[in-house]
Amino acid sequence: MKLTKYEIEVFKLMLSDKFSTEELNSILQSPITGYDYTGAGYFLELTNDILPKDRKTISKPTLLGSADNFEVGFLIFIENSKLILECHSWGEENPPETVREKSIAIEII
């Protein structure tokens, strides 16, 4: 499993002011160490030693992902050298289990 185009865009938008270019590139190359589809979105976990041990929650900038018939939002949690991307429903329709296969347009709101 590798990062999708929209996940890379989300990471760049949400992390570029918190990590150097080199660190961000390293994060983008991190192995995916966990994935859980919840029915209302998913959690995707990356592991990299350059990530801080202390807990951080990143919610800015606020991003809206739009696809065919659903919308999603994103949060990032960092703790113990792990980064978890939460992709969650932001509308009436929940994203399908195949959400990561969809083409999702990202905008800052």
For residue 67, the model assigns a pLDDT of 94
Residue bearing tokens 């919610």: 59
Residue bearing tokens 């994103």: 74
For residue 32, the model assigns a pLDDT of 97
pLDDT digits (tens), the chain, 109 positions: 899 999 999 999 999 999 999 999 999 999 999 999 999 999 999 999 999 999 999 999 999 999 989 999 999 999 999 999 999 999 889 999 999 999 999 999 9
For residue 34, the model assigns a pLDDT of 97
For residue 36, the model assigns a pLDDT of 98
Domain spans of the chain?
A: 5-108
Token reading at 69:
């018939």
Q: Write the secondary structure of the chain as one string of H (helix), E (strand) and C (coil).
A: CCCCHHHHHHHHHHHCCCCCHHHHHHHHCCCEEEEEECCCEEEEEEECCCCCCCCEEECCCCEEEECCCCEEEEEEEEECCEEEEEEEECCCCCCCCCHHHCCCEEEEC
